[in-house]
């Protein structure tokens, strides 16, 4: 079997690591693999958003399965192009990927399907947005409707901030075309979790719930990043939460997508706020999350590949029961100093041998490149250091030990990943 993975960050390294265990005999290919992925996959020198080029290459190489990591190629129709050429691909069509690429679309569908989410209105005219903001008490959340690399949502604690955010998006085009339409939402109070589910369009196989840490600073302070760490599972969630999310959120959305003749097949990631009135949707993403994937997949004992193949071939996943080992995984992201703002690259990375040999420590590469004498930094988020353990405490200790032992100039990380699970007043939820 020949498998092509599109993307080359920490999420894709974790996917490759898992799929390689599921199919040790398969031949893997990846677009511009980072040095962590390179020993596991043949390189394909095409950009992950070169959707036509990738389809032509996959056809020539007789690829049996393509898996898409990032959202941009999905929004750009990679699944549609592959389907036209009868090439099996795991990921939704561009029409279905609108659940992520258009917040206005996702909100309208949720409202129509009775899926719990924040109250909202959409605007394209500044005057209308301004009147709405003045009419509604802060806090409010102002969001660019289109794809904005995770930076398009601004939580505004005052009316002034909300006006400023809306003005920047609609009048000053601060988010380019992504902010031509904006969504203004009610602020939801609660704790946030991420839920991944594989779906064939009708059936839903939820994976373990996880929690991301989006802000750069400890205690969740400072600007948002792509994600500074994650852990799974989220302890003390109500046991029926996953069933509730399936029944109240996933199934009505999938049903509405199917009825609109745009079925969603792939990985549907729900960002959920656990509020006093139950789980409510913050956002949908049409692909695996980064950095949560690096914590969720190492806990999955059953093969992932079987599920992805079934969905990519248009089959059913009904009755599939995923198995997860007990224990926990915690991912500490090592970033470059200055991230999410400006940062330097090309810094030599030293990973002590004893870390590489520890079976309960996994080091996934993200922004790394091959230098003259080994790996060097090449991006904002450099490595994911994933500790496994019998419980979250053990997983955290291992991850932190690794994070401290790896060296590169300007290394920055949060040492408080998982803090909500450890805080004494933590009594989740859902």
Q: How far is the CB of 14 from ligand AMP (least distance, A)?
A: 21
Q: Which of 185, 248, 292, 416 binds ligand AMP (CB under 6 A)?
A: 185
Q: How far is the CB of 285 from ligand GLY (least distance, A)?
A: 5
Contacts of ligand AMP in 80-139 (CB under 6 A): 118
Cβ-closest residue to ligand GLY? 289
Q: Which of 53, 116, 271, 410 binds ligand AMP (CB under 6 A)?
A: 271
**Closer CB to ligand GLY, 12 or 290, in the complex:** 290
130 touches 163 (CB < 8 A) = yes
214 binds ligand AMP (CB under 6 A): yes
Please report which residue ranges of 37-102 form alpha helices under DSSP H: 51-61, 71-75, 78-84, 98-101
With 0-12 / 13-18 / 19 or more C-beta atoms within 10 angstroms meaning exposed / middle / buried, residue 257 is buried
In this structure, the strands spanning 27-31 and 42-44 are parallel
227 binds ligand GLY (CB under 6 A): yes
**Residue range at the interface with ligand GLY (CB under 6 A); choices 251-259, 287-295, 314-322, 355-363:** 287-295
9 binds ligand GLY (CB under 6 A): no
72 binds ligand AMP (CB under 6 A): no
Cβ–Cβ contacts within 10 Å for residue 26, how many? 14
Torsion of CA 133, 134, 140, 145, to 10 degrees: 10
- Coil, strand or helix at 406: coil
Who contacts 234 (Cβ-Cβ below 8 Å, separation ≥6)? Answer: 193, 209, 210, 211, 421, 428
H-helix or E-strand spanning residue 230? strand 229-232
Cβ–Cβ contacts within 10 Å for residue 142, how many? 27
292 binds ligand GLY (CB under 6 A): yes
Closest CA to 109 of 127, 124, 97, 123: 97
Q: Which of 185, 200, 248, 290 binds ligand GLY (CB under 6 A)?
A: 290
**Residue range at the interface with ligand AMP (CB under 6 A); choices 92-100, 148-156, 240-248, 339-347:** 148-156
Q: How far is the CB of 221 from ligand AMP (least distance, A)?
A: 13
Who contacts 259 (Cβ-Cβ below 8 Å, separation ≥6)? Answer: none
Q: Which does residue 188 touch among ligand AMP, ligand GLY, none (CB within 5 to 8 A, set by kind)?
A: ligand AMP
**Is-cis flag, bond preceding 357, omega within 30?**
no
428 binds ligand AMP (CB under 6 A): no
398 touches 328 (CB < 8 A) = no
224 binds ligand GLY (CB under 6 A): no
Contacts of ligand AMP in 324-383 (CB under 6 A): none
76 touches 68 (CB < 8 A) = no
Cβ–Cβ contacts within 10 Å for residue 158, how many? 11
161 binds ligand AMP (CB under 6 A): no
* Binding residue count for ligand AMP, defined by CB under 6 A: 14
Secondary structure letter of residue 313 according to DSSP: T
DSSP-assigned beta bridge partners for residue 368? 377
Q: Which does residue 292 touch among ligand AMP, ligand GLY, none (CB within 5 to 8 A, set by kind)?
A: ligand GLY
192 binds ligand AMP (CB under 6 A): yes
Q: Which of 110, 274, 282, 383 binds ligand AMP (CB under 6 A)?
A: 282
Residues in the site for ligand AMP, rule: CB under 6 A? Answer: 118, 141, 143, 152-153, 155, 185, 187-188, 192, 214, 271, 282-283
Per CB under 6 A, residues contacting ligand GLY are 150, 212, 227, 285, 289-290, 292
């Amino acid at each position: 079997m020949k498998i092509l993975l599109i993307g080359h960050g920490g999420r894709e390294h974790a996917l490759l690591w898992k799929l390689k265990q599921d199919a040790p005999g398969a031949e893997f290919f990846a677009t511009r693999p980072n040095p962590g992925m390179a020993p596991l996959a043949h390189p394909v020198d095409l950009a992950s958003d070169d959707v036509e080029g990738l389809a032509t290459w996959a056809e020539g190489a007789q690829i049996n399965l393509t898996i898409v990591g990032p959202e941009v190629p999905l929004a750009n129709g990679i699944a549609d192009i592959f389907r036209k050429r009868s090439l099996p691909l795991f990921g939704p069509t561009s029409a279905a990927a609108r659940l992520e690429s258009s917040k206005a679309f996702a909100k309208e569908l949720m409202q129509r399907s009775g899926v719990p989410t924040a109250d909202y209105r959409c605007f394209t005219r500044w005057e209308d947005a301004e009147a709405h903001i003045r009419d509604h008490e802060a806090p409010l959340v102002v969001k660019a409707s289109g794809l904005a690399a995770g930076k398009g949502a601004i939580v505004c604690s005052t009316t002034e901030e909300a006006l400023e955010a809306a003005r920047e998006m609609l009048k000053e085009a601060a988010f380019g075309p992504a902010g031509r339409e904006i969504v203004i939402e009610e602020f939801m109070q609660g704790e946030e979790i991420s839920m991944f589910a594989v779906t064939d369009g009708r059936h839903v196989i939820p994976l373990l719930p996880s929690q991301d840490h989006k802000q750069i600073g400890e205690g969740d302070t400072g600007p948002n990043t792509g994600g500074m760490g994650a852990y799974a599972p989220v302890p003390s969630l109500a046991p029926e939460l996953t069933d509730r999310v399936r029944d109240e959120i996933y199934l009505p959305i999938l049903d509405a997508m199917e009825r609109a003749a745009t079925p969603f097949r792939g990985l549907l990631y729900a960002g959920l706020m656990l509020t006093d009135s139950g789980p409510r949707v913050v956002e949908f993403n049409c692909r695996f999350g980064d950095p949560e994937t690096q914590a969720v997949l190492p806990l999955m004992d059953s093969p992932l590949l079987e599920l992805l193949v079934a969905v990519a071939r248009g089959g059913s996943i009904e009755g599939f029961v995923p198995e997860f080992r007990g224990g926990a995984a915690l991912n500490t992201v090592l970033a470059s100093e200055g991230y999410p703002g400006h940062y330097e690259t090309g810094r030599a990375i030293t990973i002590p041998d004893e870390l590489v040999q520890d079976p309960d420590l996994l080091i996934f590469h993200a922004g790394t490149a091959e230098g003259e004498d080994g790996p060097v930094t090449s991006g904002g988020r450099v490595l994911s250091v994933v500790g496994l353990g019998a419980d979250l405490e053990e997983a955290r200790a291992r991850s932190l030990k690794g994070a401290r032992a790896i060296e590169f100039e300007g290394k920055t990380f949060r040492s408080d990943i998982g803090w909500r699970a450890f805080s004494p007043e933590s009594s989740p939820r859902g």
